[in-house]
Chain A
Amino acid sequence: MDRTQLLLTLSIALFSLGLVGVMIRRNALVMLMCMELMLNGVILSLVTFAERTATVSGAVLVFLVFVVAAAEIAIAIPIVLLLARQRHTLDVGAWSGLKG
């Protein structure tokens, strides 16, 4: 198995692990972490293809995605905090009433 294939397999593995985590865990913080895992799996594939095609823009894009992900998590964490403060739990099931 050459390097590219290995990296892509790893990327898929990370993404799937994150997805399964999001699907089966009910703790909001853990779900956020699993989402980061999925994102990182995707970024890994991005880096792999950027390296393979030897384009600089791909590498730059990786950093941009990192910044966006950091900004996003900076908003997500306070929201989770506020939610936890309201219901005194991190279980997302506590908020299922929001379906309307």
Chain B
Amino acid sequence: MTMDLLTLIVLLPLAGFVLNGLAGNRLGKGFVSVVGCGLPIVAFMATVRALLELQATGGSALLETVYTWAMVGDFRFEVAFYFDRLSALMTLIVTGVGSLIHVYSTGYMKDDASYARYFAYLNLFLFFMLLLVLGRSLLVCFVGWEGVGLASYLLIGFWFEDPAKAAAGKKAFITNRVGDAGFLLGMFLIYHALGTLDFDAVNAAFNGPVAPAVSASLVGLLLFVGATGKSAQIPLHVWLPDAMAGPTPVSALIHAATMVTAGVYLVARLNGLYLHAPEASQVIAIVGLATAFFAATIAVVQTDIKKVLAYSTVSQLGFMFLALGVGAYGVAVFHVYTHAFFKACLFLGAGSVIHAMSGEQDVRRMGGLARKIPVTFVTFAVATAAIAGIPPLAGFFSKDEILWFAFASERGGSPLLWIVASFTALMTAFYMFRLLMLTFLTPSRMDEKTAHHVHESPVSMTGVLVVLAVLSAIGGFFHVYHFLEPVMPMPAENEALEHLKLPLVIFAVVTGLTGLAAAVYVYGKGLARADRLQQRFAGLHRLLSGKYYVDELYEAVLGRPLHWISERVFLDLGDRALIDGTLHGLTGLAQRAAGRLSRVETGNLQFYVLLAALGVVASLAWMWGHG
């Protein structure tokens, strides 16, 4: 039994998918809810049990080989699970937050016609996500990686009757394919150089006495391309904001708490490789920081509650990559962990708001919800303060560590990184409190009908919100990076800067509070002041609300040329002219020839006889001539 614990964790959600997918519609919503929520909860408990076993073994990872997938020569592709402290933490987040969101979904999706399909997809997602974080080799991880992409596609386009939502699903899927190409190439290189894909073996090989015959930076960059796709980093960040078309709990689970952190997990998991790839690490830090900064600026002007949160997620993921880039792998995972709590809480809170507002998502038409839906308000406020880095909430600890290592890490930390990151943190506090003010605190801007309808969500939803808010509040006291240190060593800190640590912490707190104050100043009395600002900086506002026109750029640089080529070259020239043209030419020739020949068939017997006689005469004459 103990040997199969990891397999059990992975297979439970798959069982849920099969049960709900095949029989869910026939057996009713009660059955779907019990299976859909029950199996992830059991998986969570199994994970806790596995963690206890891991602690009992004293740190050596648990290994389970399930199945030999293929044998090529003397290399075996095995489906094996690997459970060390990093996988343990990720599995706990996935199953724990996942279970909470499943429970929340029973309230949120209560009236949806495709209730069983929804839970089937959600369970399928959990299955693939667990495969991703528990897989021992890059190959198993990649299967999970693709699988979560599929589940994400299915859930973004869950309401596929709406073409815009279906298109958002496709966009997510296709953008991820670009990243996957990098992932695959990186995997090929690793296999070519090392002959193994197991994470532990790869890390060991790069840390071994003989350097592997492959550039760690090249492999690292290729794998990072994969990570930019999955974790929505520049330049592949465009899909995540659109992914908000899915149901809100999906945004919370897949596009905030778990799947989008897969890229962070991948880099952290291969820390042995990235330790020897300073160039790749530098790229990661810069891309992460740029993403954090630009996404934060966009979030400042968004008016859709979920879009603000989406850009905030992109921005926070940027922070995680910044931490990875400066070698603070444990800190990045620490932020994954705190972010999972407060971002899930925020998204689910937004879901509760949308639920109360009968589907309205535009914050300009909200306001004054604090009294009407108090539980949602309080939990949302806690999570907002957490993400803004107000002590002693979870986000404060993780973000502070990231800022510190961006400043003082011996692996590429620099004051410049710290300045931009701090400014981004300031913006984070500003746009999050802006969201809080506009949604809950400012005077109501709703119309009569919506205002009349506003109601607090059922206990299944608010209960989950409370749990997540509590976790967002206290989660930071569990210092994950110390827990992870045996697997992921922390980078050396610059001794000369040690005396700055406390001032920087105080500065970070002041930054958060400044953001809060700015938001209160601008949005305290409604939208009037913000509108004046908007008019004064009309150009900037247009640039930001146009999201830097990245979508338009892709459309112009990639979309249109591809469209032109497929239209003109492949369709007109290739398909229509060459292939259709050849076939039509041949059939035309045959038809015309047959038309000519059929004139011989007159129906006149005498004519046939004449032809036959002529034929006989002709052949006789020929035989005469040729002896």
Q: Considering residues A22, A31, A98, which has the most beta carbons from chain B within 10 angstroms of its beta carbon?
A: A22
User: Is B609 in the interface zone, CB < 8 Å from A?
Assistant: yes
Within B598-627, the residues touching A (CB, 8 Å) are 601-606, 609-610, 613
Give CA–CA (A100, B602) in the complex, Å: 10
Within B550-605, the residues touching A (CB, 8 Å) are 601-605
- What are the residues of chain B within 8 A of A96 when measuring CB–CB? 602-605
Interface residue total, chain B, C-beta cutoff 8 A: 9
Within A23-45, the residues touching B (CB, 8 Å) are 23-24, 26, 31
User: Is A90 in the interface zone, CB < 8 Å from B?
Assistant: no
**Once the chains bind, are A23 and B609 in contact (CB under 8 Å)?**
yes
**Once the chains bind, are A24 and B613 in contact (CB under 8 Å)?**
no
From residue B596, how far is it (CB to closest CB) to chain A in Å?
A: 16
Give CA–CA (A96, B604) in the complex, Å: 6
Partner of B610, one of A23, A92, A98: A23
From residue A56, how far is it (CB to closest CB) to chain B in Å?
A: 30
Within A1-55, the residues touching B (CB, 8 Å) are 19, 22-24, 26, 31
Chain A residues in the interface with B (C-beta under 8 A): 19, 22-24, 26, 31, 92-93, 95-100
From residue B360, how far is it (CB to closest CB) to chain A in Å?
A: 74
The 4 closest A-B pairs by CB, nearest first: A96-B603, A99-B603, A99-B601, A92-B605
**Once the chains bind, are B603 and A23 in contact (CB under 8 Å)?**
no
From residue A31, how far is it (CB to closest CB) to chain B in Å?
A: 8
**Once the chains bind, are A93 and B604 in contact (CB under 8 Å)?**
yes
- What are the residues of chain A within 8 A of B604 when measuring CB–CB? 93, 96
From residue B366, how far is it (CB to closest CB) to chain A in Å?
A: 80
**Once the chains bind, are B602 and A24 in contact (CB under 8 Å)?**
no
Give CA–CA (A26, B609) in the complex, Å: 12
CB closest chain-A residue, reference B604: A96
From residue B136, how far is it (CB to closest CB) to chain A in Å?
A: 74
7 A-B Cβ contacts within 8 A? A22-B609, A23-B609, A31-B605, A92-B606, A97-B603, A98-B603, A99-B603
CB closest chain-A residue, reference B616: A19
From residue A11, how far is it (CB to closest CB) to chain B in Å?
A: 15
**Once the chains bind, are B613 and A23 in contact (CB under 8 Å)?**
yes
- What are the residues of chain A within 8 A of B606 when measuring CB–CB? 22-24, 26, 92
Give CA–CA (A98, B606) in the complex, Å: 14
CB closest chain-A residue, reference B613: A19
Given contacts A19-B609, A23-B610, A99-B601, 16 further A-B contacts (CB under 8 A): A19-B613, A22-B606, A23-B606, A23-B609, A23-B613, A24-B606, A92-B605, A92-B606, A95-B603, A96-B602, A96-B603, A96-B604, A96-B605, A97-B603, A98-B603, A99-B603
